[in-house]
Amino acid sequence: QQQVKQSPQSLIVQKGGISIINCAYENTAFDYFPWYQQFPGKGPALLIAIRPDVSEKKEGRFTISFNKSAKQFSLHIMDSQPGDSATYFCAALIPNFGNEKLTFGTGTRLTIIP
């Protein structure tokens, strides 16, 4: 049962453009939403994370937008660079002791072309 739906599956963006990846969830008990970046041959690395009490969080060129009522959140990469080409995963967490686990989206393969 997939609880976090991620789209698109793949995305091609020109250098300097804005990359947008979307995720939607169903379980309102989720209260922590991280994004991970994974390069080939490497494990995922935390990029940025948000709690549902804020609608937006920005770190450098990366911004998370969060819409609690729509149960959606998205990652925006401004001024996308070839080095941003990677697979991105959204995730969600229910901080429930004994039953706490990160649930991941299916990933988006981002390619930035010159």
Q: Which two tokens stand for residue 96?
A: 């429930």
User: Per CB under 8 A, does 105 bind another protein?
Assistant: yes
Minimum distance, C-beta of residue 83 to another protein, in the bound complex (Å): 19
Site for another protein in 31-60 (CB under 8 A): 32, 41-46, 49
How many residues make contact with another protein (CB under 8 A)?
Answer: 23
The count of other CB atoms within 10 Å of the CB of residue 100 is 10
CA dihedral 101→73→45→29, nearest 10 degrees, is -10
Indicate which single residue of 65, 93, 109, 111 sits in contact with another protein (rule: CB under 8 A). Answer: 93
Output 102 or 113, the one with its CB closest to another protein: 102
Dist. CA 9–CA 1, nearest whole Å? 18
Distance CA(112)–CA(110), nearest Å, equals 7
- Interface positions with another protein (CB under 8 A): 32, 41-46, 49, 89, 91, 93, 95, 97-107
